Amino acid sequence: MSAELENKENTLDKNENEIALRETEGLSQGQIIFRRFVRHKAAMTSLIVLVFIILFSYTGSGIHLGDSNNKITVQGWWPYQIDQIDPEGAVESMCANGIPGCPTLDLIPEFIDGTGMQVGAHPLGMDTVGTDYFALVLRGAEQSIMVMLIVGSLGVAIGTVVGAIAGFFGGIVDAVLMRLTDMFLVMPTLIIGAVIGFRFGNLGVVPLAVMLGLFAWMGLARFVRTEFLSLREREFVDAARVAGASNRRIIFKHILPNAVGVIIVSGTLLMSGAILTESALSFLGFGVRAPDVSLGLLISRYQDVFTVAPWLFWWPGVFIIAIALCVNFIGDGLRDAFDPRQKRRISLKERMQARELKSTAAAKAKA
Amino acid sequence: MTEPVLKVADYNVDFWVDGVWYPAAIDMNYEVYPGKTLAIVGESGSGKSSSSMGLMGLLASNARVTGTVEVKGVNMLEASSTTVRRFRGKEVAYIFQEPMTALNPVYTIGFQIVETLRLHLGMGPVTAKKRSIELLEMVDLPDPAKTFDKYPHQLSGGQKQRAMIAIALACDPALLIADEPTTALDVTVQAEILDLMRDLRHKLNSGILLITHDMGVVADMADEILVMKDGYTVEHNTADHIFNRPSHPYTQQLLAAVPKLGSVAVRELKFEGSVKPEPVLKLQNVDIEYPKRGRIPAFKAVQDFSLEIYPGEIVGLVGESGSGKTTIGRASIGLLPIKSGVISVAGFDISNGNTKQLSQIRRHTGIVFQDPASSLNPRLPIGESIGEPILLSGLAKGDDLNHKVEELLDSVELPRSYRNRYPHELSGGQRQRVGIARALALTPSLLIADEPTSALDVSVQARFLDLLQGLQEELKFACLFITHDLGVVDILSHRIAVMQNGRLVEEGLRDQVLKSPKDPYTQRLIAAVPVPDPAEQKKRREARQAIK
Does residue A21 fall inside a structural domain? no
Which residues of chain A have a CB within 8 Å of the CB of B378? 236, 258, 340-341
Does residue A20 fall inside a structural domain? no
Interface check B388 vs A, CB under 8 A: yes
pLDDT digits (tens, 9 = 90+) for B215-250: 888 888 888 999 988 888 888 988 888 888 888 998
CB-based contact A301:A288 (threshold 8 Å): no
CATH number where A74 lies: 1.10.3720.10
Does residue A11 fall inside a structural domain? no
Compare all CA atoms of chain B with the CA of A33 and give the residue at the minimum distance: B379
Which residues of chain A have a CB within 8 Å of the CB of B424? 340-341
Q: Answer whether the bond into residue B415 is a cis peptide, omega within 30°.
A: no
Interface check B106 vs A, CB under 8 A: no
Interface check A355 vs B, CB under 8 A: yes
Same domain, A207 and A175: yes
Same domain, A71 and A218: yes
For residue B3, CA distances in Å to B34, B35, B198, B202, B405 come to 8, 11, 21, 17, 60
d(CA B257, CA B444): 29
Q: Answer whether residue A227 shows pLDDT above 90.
A: yes
Does residue A286 fall inside a structural domain? yes
Mean pLDDT of chain B: 84
Partner-chain contact B367 A258, CB within 8 Å: no
Strands (E), B191-321: 207-212, 224-229, 232-238, 281-290, 299-309, 314-318
State the nearest Cα–Cα gap between B69 and chain A, in angstroms. Answer: 23
State the nearest Cα–Cα gap between B231 and chain A, in angstroms. Answer: 11
pLDDT band at residue B498 under the 50/70/90 scheme: very high
Q: Answer whether residue A140 shows pLDDT above 70.
A: yes
Comparing C-alpha atoms, which of B482, B544, B513 is closest to residue B319? B482
Partner-chain contact A27 B420, CB within 8 Å: yes
Which residues of chain B have a CB within 8 Å of the CB of A258? 377-379
Partner-chain contact A355 B19, CB within 8 Å: yes
Domain limit, last residue, from A130, A162, A196 = A130
Query: Can you tell me whether residue A303 is helix, strand or coil?
Result: helix
Which residues of chain B have a CB within 8 Å of the CB of A351? 19
Q: In the Cβ-directed half-sphere of A22, how many Cα atoms lie within 13 Å?
A: 5
Number of domains in chain A: 2
- Among the partner-chain residues B232, B379, B421, the one whose CB lies closest to the CB of A24 is B421
Same domain, A106 and A233: no
Backbone angles phi, psi at A110, to 5 degrees: -55, -45
CA A316 to centroid of chain Cα atoms: 16
Interface check A25 vs B, CB under 8 A: yes
Does residue A334 fall inside a structural domain? yes
d(CA B342, CA B143): 43
Which residues of chain B have a CB within 8 Å of the CB of A20? 425
CB-based contact A185:A192 (threshold 8 Å): no
Interface check A239 vs B, CB under 8 A: yes
- Cα of first residue to Cα of last residue in chain A, in angstroms, is 9
Does residue A346 fall inside a structural domain? no
Residues ≥6 apart with Cβ < 8 Å to A301: none
State the nearest Cα–Cα gap between B444 and chain A, in angstroms. Answer: 11
Q: Mean of the pLDDT values across residues A142-148?
A: 88
- Cα of first residue to Cα of last residue in chain B, in angstroms, is 37
Instruction: Enumerate the H helices of B325-454 as residue ranges.
Output: 325-332, 355-361, 372-375, 382-393, 398-411, 428-439
Same domain, A216 and A274: yes
Q: How many interface pairs between A and B have CB atoms less than 8 angstroms apart?
A: 107
Rg, Å, chain A Cα set: 27
Compare all CA atoms of chain B with the CA of A24 and give the residue at the minimum distance: B420
- Among the partner-chain residues B20, B335, B420, the one whose CB lies closest to the CB of A238 is B335
Partner-chain contact A245 B424, CB within 8 Å: no
Q: Mean of the pLDDT values across residues A76-88?
A: 74
Which stretch of A186-195, A334-343, B29-38 has the lowest confidence by average pLDDT? A334-343
Mutation site, B20, B356, B359, B393, interface A, largest A CB count within 10 A: B20
- Domain residues for A48? 41-79+140-338
Domain limit, last residue, from A130, A163, A193 = A130
Same domain, A93 and A238: no
pLDDT digits (tens, 9 = 90+) for A191-219: 887 887 787 767 778 888 888 898 889 99
CB-based contact B274:B472 (threshold 8 Å): no
Partner-chain contact B366 A242, CB within 8 Å: yes
pLDDT band at residue A1 under the 50/70/90 scheme: very low
Compare all CA atoms of chain B with the CA of A336 and give the residue at the minimum distance: B379
Partner-chain contact B380 A346, CB within 8 Å: no
Interface check A356 vs B, CB under 8 A: no
In terms of Cβ atoms closer than 10 Å to its own Cβ (0-12, 13-18, 19+), residue B326 is buried
pLDDT band at residue B121 under the 50/70/90 scheme: confident
State the nearest Cα–Cα gap between A352 and chain B, in angstroms. Answer: 7
State the nearest Cα–Cα gap between A346 and chain B, in angstroms. Answer: 7
Interface check B62 vs A, CB under 8 A: no
ipTM > 0.90?
no
Does residue A363 fall inside a structural domain? no
State the nearest Cα–Cα gap between B321 and chain A, in angstroms. Answer: 17
Same domain, A152 and A267: yes
pLDDT digits (tens, 9 = 90+) for B129-185: 999 998 888 887 888 888 889 888 888 777 888 888 888 888 888 888 988 887 767
Partner-chain contact B380 A351, CB within 8 Å: no
Same domain, A121 and A221: no
Q: Answer whether residue A179 shows pLDDT above 90.
A: yes
Query: Can you tell me whether residue B5 is helix, strand or coil?
Result: coil
Partner-chain contact B369 A238, CB within 8 Å: yes
What pairs with residue B163 in β-bridges?
none
Same domain, A221 and A270: yes
d(CA A243, CA B119): 54
Comparing C-alpha atoms, which of B312, B307, B348 is closest to residue B324? B307
Cβ neighbours around B36 below 10 Å, total: 19
Q: Answer whether residue A228 shows pLDDT above 90.
A: yes
Compare all CA atoms of chain B with the CA of A9 and give the residue at the minimum distance: B22
Comparing C-alpha atoms, which of A153, A241, A247, A360 is closest to residue B377? A241
Partner-chain contact A26 B420, CB within 8 Å: yes
Comparing C-alpha atoms, which of A173, A168, A171 is closest to residue A234? A168
Give the sign of the dihedral formed by CA A3, CA A4, CA A7, CA A13: negative
Q: Answer whether residue B195 shows pLDDT above 80.
A: yes
d(CA B483, CA B111): 36
- Among the partner-chain residues A21, A244, A253, the one whose CB lies closest to the CB of B393 is A244
Mutation site, A28, A235, A343, A357, interface B, largest B CB count within 10 A: A235
Q: Write the Ramachandran bin of B289: left for phi over 0, alpha for psi from -120 to 50, otherwise beta.
A: beta
> Which pLDDT belongs to residue A181?
94
Q: Mean of the pLDDT values across residues B493-512?
A: 88
pLDDT digits (tens, 9 = 90+) for A252-298: 889 998 888 889 888 988 988 888 788 778 777 777 776 778 888 88
Task: Please give the domain boundaries of chain B with CATH numbers for all domains.
Answer: 311-329+355-530 (3.40.50.300)
Exposed e or buried b for every residue in B291-311, given b needs 16+ CB within 10 A?
A: eeeeeeeeeebbbebebbbbb
Same domain, A307 and A170: yes
Question: In one letter, which amino acid is B292?
Answer: K
CB-based contact B291:B298 (threshold 8 Å): yes
d(CA B179, CA B162): 14
Partner-chain contact A245 B369, CB within 8 Å: no
Q: Answer whether residue A73 shows pLDDT above 80.
A: no
Same domain, A155 and A119: no
Does residue A13 fall inside a structural domain? no
Exposed e or buried b for every residue in B96-131, given b needs 16+ CB within 10 A?
A: bbebeebbeeeebbbebbbbbbebbeebeeeebbeb
d(CA A342, CA A331): 14
Residues ≥6 apart with Cβ < 8 Å to A261: A335, A338, A339
Compare all CA atoms of chain B with the CA of A253 and give the residue at the minimum distance: B380
Number of H helices, E strands in chain B: 22, 20
Same domain, A248 and A288: yes
Mutation site, A236, A264, A336, interface B, largest B CB count within 10 A: A236
> Helix, strand, coil shares of chain A as percentages rounded to 5?
70, 5, 25
d(CA B535, CA B71): 32
Strands (E), A278-317: none
Same domain, A119 and A54: no
> Which pLDDT belongs to residue A280?
79
d(CA B535, CA B541): 10
Exposed e or buried b for every residue in A305-321, given b needs 16+ CB within 10 A?
A: eeeebebbbbbbeebbe
- Among the partner-chain residues B379, B388, B393, the one whose CB lies closest to the CB of A338 is B379
Comparing C-alpha atoms, which of B125, B133, B120, B209 is closest to residue B171? B120
Give the sign of the dihedral formed by CA B343, CA B344, CA B350, CA B352: positive
Which residues of chain A have a CB within 8 Å of the CB of B421? 24
Element (H, E) at A59: helix A41-61
Partner-chain contact B424 A341, CB within 8 Å: yes
pLDDT digits (tens, 9 = 90+) for B352-389: 777 777 887 888 888 998 877 788 888 888 888 898 88
Q: Mean of the pLDDT values across residues B8-22?
A: 81
Rg, Å, chain B Cα set: 25
pLDDT band at residue A12 under the 50/70/90 scheme: very low
Partner-chain contact B381 A346, CB within 8 Å: no
Cβ neighbours around A160 below 10 Å, total: 26
d(CA B260, CA B521): 20
Partner-chain contact B420 A2, CB within 8 Å: no
d(CA A208, CA B325): 58
What pairs with residue A64 in β-bridges?
A73
> Which pLDDT belongs to residue B170?
83
> Which pLDDT belongs to residue B502?
86
State the nearest Cα–Cα gap between B415 and chain A, in angstroms. Answer: 11
Interface check B384 vs A, CB under 8 A: yes
Q: Answer whether residue B471 shows pLDDT above 50.
A: yes
Q: Mean of the pLDDT values across residues B444-462?
A: 84
Instruction: Enumerate the H helices of B206-334 as residue ranges.
Output: 215-221, 239-244, 249-257, 325-332
